[in-house]
Amino acid sequence: MGAFQGPREWGKLLTAMLTPFDSDGGVNFDEAGRLASYLVDVQKNDGIVVNGTTGESPTLSETEKLQLLSVVLDAVGDRASVLFGAGTYNTAESIQMAKEGERRGAHGIMLVNPYYNRPGQEGLYAHFSTVARETSLPVLLYNIQPRSSINLETLTLMRLAEIPNIVGVKEASGMIGQIADVAAQAPEGFRVYSGDDGLTLPILSVGGFGLVSVVAHVVGARLKEMIDVFPSNPMRALDLHRQLMPVFKGMFAFPSPVPIKYATSLNGFDCESVRLPLVPLSEVQKEAVRATLKGVLPVAA
């Protein structure tokens, strides 16, 4: 298995992979492996994040999370990077999951802002730095204020960037001014990934490196082209961005990841089911999602 030791090796386009469930509500591990291969081979992803919010991580058991990691590593770990979402609102649990992810061969770990307990900036620094010290893997921080109710401020992030194995941030705060500051102040080699599909082009324009995506489940090849072409042909990147805007909007018109699971199912994957407290789309909502895909995806509408 290849050893991915930093963000250059992670690549520029990663998908936060959804978790397929079977008819009994259990994780469909065979389908997860098939989907991982599809994301890499067909949708041109450089890597995959397992056990992110798109993977419904709050409803997965520790055993399910680790088995998913092993399945995805077996499927694509020799030709793509595989990051493991180890972060929770519990520092001790995050350390345990980081160690288990490393033991199983993950190429990096992702640590989300501790949600719900709102620890403040010093608490954020202490949490992230403590977990990072307990693993030798490269760490991607995940700043998502809308889901965690706390923002990882630039000053705090720059302190964390001094820790050798904290090598990047997935920025989903939605605050372009802050993201521009981060990109400008970050030390050499520190990577700023967009965590919001629709803001990827603006983030690239202020110095962003790549994208951790949701919609790359269905339009990954186009997103990869947009990212790759941006430095030499920004107008082509803008054209691709505009083509994809309906998909960006449609995949987040209802609680995520429900729309992307339905959209991906239209391409032949048994992955539409969700776990409570998420609920399936209504027929009216499904029609709305299909409408955003017309002319974009080769699926039945």
Report the catalytic residues.
142, 170
Cβ-contact 80, 35 below 8 angstroms: no
Report the DSSP beta bridge partners of residue 27. 21
Q: CA-to-CA distance for 19 and 275, rounded, in angstroms?
A: 10
Q: The tokens 């705090």 sit on which residue?
A: 156
Q: CA-to-CA distance for 162 and 176, rounded, in angstroms?
A: 23
116, 117, 86, 83: which is closest to 100 by C-alpha?
86
Cα separations in angstroms, 143 against 10, 16, 71, 286: 18, 14, 27, 30
